[in-house]
Amino acid sequence: MKQYGNEALELQAAFMAGWRAGSIGIPYLLLKHYHQLKLTEVDVLLMIHVMAFMEKEHKEFPTLEELQERMSVSAEKVIASLQKLLKDGLLAIDEAVDHQNGIHYEKYNFNPLFEKLAACWYEQEQQRKKPEEPAVRNDIFSVFEKEFGRPLTPMELESITGWLDKDRYPEELIMAGLKEAVFAGKVHFRYIDRILLEWSRNRITTVEQAKEHSQKFRSMR
């Protein structure tokens, strides 16, 4: 019973020692975007170890031997990873001077990494702010080509784009106009444009309204 009590105390002491050792700050953007920078898990872990040496042990230039001791890969892979980071401009080595004793020394600099991560973040934000193109748009061109039985000409592609972007016709309404032209046996862009223009003049904005208008038109003929 006494031995068990000693072991429990030792475990508690070990836990408290580990707790007091603290933690280090790992940039979230590094974990989020390292694949965009074409970094491997070995590259990322190597940088984390360098950060740990700098932050917790105040070693601004840990040796290769110190880094290898904490990693499970070979010395060759550690060296190759470090060379890659330096070559790709993700890590820099600066020269500094200790003003107290005038000794020159080297230290790692992560500013190049942070700049590239910031660029990744900015690019992602710009993409997020861009209005998404409707998925139907790509389908419209395919449907038109299928109905026409051939690839569309540049002028025909421009006509569809104009209906979408300039005239602001809903995609569903353009598709309905195409169906109406097929039904009438007049599958050409001039006829479809007249249909869409007629619907626009009558303030028709939905497929249901277009169907009702077409039925009334046929019943009057």
pLDDT string in tens for the chain (221-residue length): 445 566 766 666 655 655 566 788 888 999 999 999 999 999 999 999 999 999 999 999 999 999 999 999 999 999 999 999 999 999 999 998 988 888 999 999 999 999 999 998 888 888 777 665 555 556 888 889 988 888 988 889 999 999 999 989 999 999 999 998 888 888 899 999 999 999 999 888 888 888 887 777 666 55
Quickly tell me which residue has 């060759």 as its tokens.
Answer: 76
Kindly state whether residue 1 falls inside one of the protein's structural domains: no
Return the pLDDT at 53: 95
Return the pLDDT at 63: 94
Kindly state whether residue 17 falls inside one of the protein's structural domains: no
Please answer whether residues 181 and 199 qualify as being in contact, where contact means their C-beta atoms are separated by less than 8 angstroms.
no
Asked if 118 and 205 sit in the same domain, the reply is no
Name the 3-class secondary structure at 110: coil
Beta bridge partners of 109: 92
Kindly state whether residue 10 falls inside one of the protein's structural domains: no
Q: Is 174 exposed, middle or buried (0-12, 13-18, 19+ CB in 10 A)?
A: buried
Return the pLDDT at 197: 92
**Domain limits at 56?**
24-129
Neighbours of 42 (CB within 10 A): 16
Asked if 98 and 155 sit in the same domain, the reply is no
Residues in Cβ contact with 178 at an 8 Å cutoff, skipping those fewer than 6 apart: 143, 144, 147, 187, 192
Asked if 91 and 171 sit in the same domain, the reply is no
pTM: 0.53
Kindly state whether residue 158 falls inside one of the protein's structural domains: yes
| Domain of residue 198, CATH code | 1.10.10.630
Of 133, 155, 135, 145, which Cα lies nearest the Cα of 178? 145
Asked if 28 and 123 sit in the same domain, the reply is yes
